[in-house]
Chains A and B, each alone.
Chain A
Amino acid sequence: SQQGEEDPQALSIQEGENATMNCSYKTSINNLQWYRQNSGRGLVHLILIRSNEREKHSGRLRVTLDTSKKSSSLLITASRAADTASYFCATDNSGYSTLTFGKGTMLLVSP
């Protein structure tokens, strides 16, 4: 069954702007992960945040996790055209790395 639900479904911004994507989930989790998928390609892991963590950074990426609200957000700062892709959150609520993916947010960054 689907666990994560990303919002918005699609986002269009200009280069240099920040992009924020949100993910909500339904059950308790072990960790939450964000992945990027370029058109016609496989998924690439971006960040993993554990249930006892509230915020993580990686380069221009910032992920927050609010377990009380069962939600996470992914912030991409100073976006670039190369950031154009679909972004998925995935929850691991079993401890077996059984990931349940959301439907994704399609991000379009225009030059």
Chain B
Amino acid sequence: DTAVSQTPKYLVTQMGNDKSIKCEQNLGHDTMYWYKQDSKKFLKIMFSYNNKELIINETVPNRFSPKSPDKAHLNLHINSLELGDSAVYFCASSQAPRQGAYEQYFGPGTRLTVT
């Protein structure tokens, strides 16, 4: 009964390729997020989706694009992969933030290695 799941867990690919990471949550949450954790464990928000609408979009390259087919899924597409994209990507979800302050539930992460 995984609450937030991501696939794949590991992704090794070459520079210039296009790849996607999938995320699904079964918690009935309205908001989903993508984070990037670098090699020094620094975690930074990339995107947030609320009811299928992008509500924040941090300064990430436009090679990264979130796609939400429904409120239970938020996929991350990455075009023209670069070496610097190597990191662990985490998906998370929470209840709608405007209704109060809520904790976020994180997926297990996808370790992306670009060679």
Contact = CB atoms under 8 A, between A and B. Distances in A.
A30 B45 contact: no
Nearest to B43: A101
Interface of B: 4, 31, 40-45, 48, 55-56, 90, 92, 94, 97-98, 101-109
A42 B101 contact: no
Contacts of A62: none
Nearest to B42: A103
A92 B101 contact: yes
Interface residues of A, number: 26
Contacts of A78: none
B111 to A, nearest CB: 9
B97 A96 contact: yes
Contacts of B102: 48, 97
B108 A42 contact: yes
Contacts of A82: none
Given A101-B42, A103-B42, 12 more contacts: A33-B103, A37-B41, A43-B90, A45-B104, A45-B105, A48-B103, A95-B101, A96-B48, A97-B31, A97-B97, A101-B43, A101-B44
Contacts of B41: 37, 86, 103-104
Interface string A76-111: 000000000010100010011111110110000000
Contacts of B108: 41-42
**Which 3 residue pairs are nearest across A and B when measured between Cβ atoms?**
A97-B97, A42-B106, A45-B103
